[in-house]
Amino acid sequence: MLTFQKVLETFKDFLASHEVIEVVKISKGYIVLDWGDSVEGSASGEFGFESIDHCRTPEELLDRLTDSYKSFLSSDITKGQRDLTEQEEKAIDEEGDVFRKTAYTVTTGY
């Protein structure tokens, strides 16, 4: 059975190394905050989010974090300078699938 803890365990290294994505527990699930490029704030000291998503179920959290991971891989490959090739898109989808499968099988200490 998929749980929030399994999803968080699966993505813990990704989340720890990417401070632009934060996952916050709330009474009705989790909130995923994506700072985009504004994690340091703007010149005026303002902070803003690229997106804020409420994940009510472990499946929603898994989908959201998988999308974030795939987006990171895409940006890392293209540097925002070109479109992905079909091969690159396939490779990114396969890596996302690995995370999805792992989330269902990972053992947590909780």
Is the backbone of residue 80 left (phi > 0), alpha (psi -120 to 50) or beta?
Answer: left
pLDDT reported for residue 44: 47
* 31, β-bridge pairs: 24, 54
For 37, the domain range is 4-105
pLDDT at 12 over 70: yes
| Tens-digit pLDDT profile for residues 15-67 | 999 888 999 999 999 999 988 764 454 444 555 667 889 999 999 999 999 99
71 within a domain of the structure (yes/no): yes
8 within a domain of the structure (yes/no): yes
110 within a domain of the structure (yes/no): no
51 within a domain of the structure (yes/no): yes
pLDDT reported for residue 63: 96
CA 29 to chain centre: 16
Instruction: Tally the domains of the chain.
Output: 1
pLDDT cut 90: percent of the chain above it: 61
Q: How confident is the model at residue 106 (pLDDT cuts 50, 70, 90)?
A: confident
Q: How confident is the model at residue 109 (pLDDT cuts 50, 70, 90)?
A: low
Phi and psi dihedrals of 103, rounded to 5? -60, -30
